[in-house]
Amino acid sequence: MASTLRKRGKKPSPQVSKSQEPEPAAKNIDRKTLPNSTQKAGKPKSPPTREWEDEDYAKAVVAIGTCILASLLLIPVFCHLLLSSSYFQSNIIFLNNIINYPSSGTLQALGSQLDGVTNLNVGGLQGYRFTPTSSDSPNFLPPKTTISRILEIFFPAEFEIPPVSVSVSVPPPATPSNNKKCAIILLHGNASNRGLYWRIKHARQLSSLTLTPCGNNIDVFSFDTRCFGDSFCPTNNYLLNEEDTKKDALTILNHVLEQDEYSSNIYLYGHSLGTSIAANLLMDSTCGNNDHRLKDNCPIRGLILDSPFTSMAAAVKNHPLSFFLRHLVPKGYWEEKVWAGATFKTQSVLSTFLTTIRNRLRFPILILHGKYDKEIPLKTGGVQLFAALSDGVRRKIGWSGVASVGLALEVFEKGHEFVHRDERWGEVIESWDKLL
């Protein structure tokens, strides 16, 4: 048979054993007798649930209680390690490594484009000098940036009142008959740099004031201390500290004094963190010299503090972001454990200056603060600082002498950043200056 098939060209079919033959399909299978997996594939029958017993609830309570207890023990330890870290302290105080806007590479070009602005470089410290100019010039202020517009959206209350009229329409500078000039050293706060839109506007408003010694012939010096903006920074991992800011501020003051044309008509204007830097500068200058053998030679006419704090410890403790930390650490912890070092103690510096340095009891100090300041609350900032300084003066000459020394506090319907946008701002400074 096989030979016959080969002859015809056909291959024989393979032999299939009985054991390999397919079984016939089952008929009339009762599905009830099949396993559950064949009934519903992929949907195994869930095991029966067991109700919680009292022992299960007790275990859950113990587990939750253990987690809460561990958190209460570990969170303060974590906070202590974080707050006592020099790296954290430096970055949270200055924010120079976190926020630096506008970018460093654009600051020189920005200064070159603005009318009445001169780029300065003093020992690696970069800055602007603002001279009086008309706001009609096309390059009076830089164009608003995206960040400036975002701020107007999130902080509309800051922009409800238009800028003071003197900053919008600045008359040509009137040179007094004695040809005297005044200089205002503007020390800005933490984060970003001198190129911010509103900081440039702030400097413009200062240069448009009318002061008793020089009329409106005023130059404003706005510098970035080291590691801010495009000023020099020793190393990439360098941690900025209070002593460095004191050295840089003194360098800036000495540069202004070298000009001769300003004589003794120099004002210090500090904002936020800059208020403490200005207070330190006042003490470190010749105004803080207590040597009776030397001639009294104080070139600084007055100190203006915009949104000040009493100390950095108090500023951090009272900051809104420290709400939870205030309830996690014991009272006095900030001053005794975390901020025990010399960290911008504005109240202490100024109290010492007024009460212990000869001929400084009547030194003029003007404190400006916003009613709606959230970062440095008015009550624990300007009000407390004014009360402490006034108390020191009262102990020396009595309450009747407080007003006569030029120590004053003025509150504005503004927040932290934009006190200078209040319509009374320029008027208050000029009225205070007339009393000096």
As beta bridge partners, residue 186 has: 222, 269
pLDDT at 328: 67
Q: Which residue has the higher pLDDT, 247 or 397?
A: 247
For the chain, the domains span 96-288+296-310+340-434
Average confidence score pLDDT of the chain: 80
Least confident of 4-18, 84-98, 233-247, 387-401: 4-18
The owner of tokens 């949104």 is 307
401 CB contacts (<8 Å, ≥6 apart)? 362, 393, 394
Instruction: Give 376-423 pLDDT, tens digit per residue.
Output: 999 999 999 999 998 888 787 765 555 556 789 999 999 998 899 999
pLDDT at 404: 58
DSSP 114: S
With residue 325 as reference, give the H or E element that holds it.
helix 323-326
CA distance linking residue 331 with residue 317, whole number of Å: 11
Instruction: Give 201-231 pLDDT, tens digit per residue.
Output: 999 999 999 999 999 999 999 999 999 999 9
Instruction: Give 152-163 pLDDT, tens digit per residue.
Output: 555 554 444 343
pLDDT at 169: 38
CA distance linking residue 243 with residue 252, whole number of Å: 15
Domain spanning 96-288+296-310+340-434, CATH architecture: 3-Layer(aba) Sandwich (3.40)
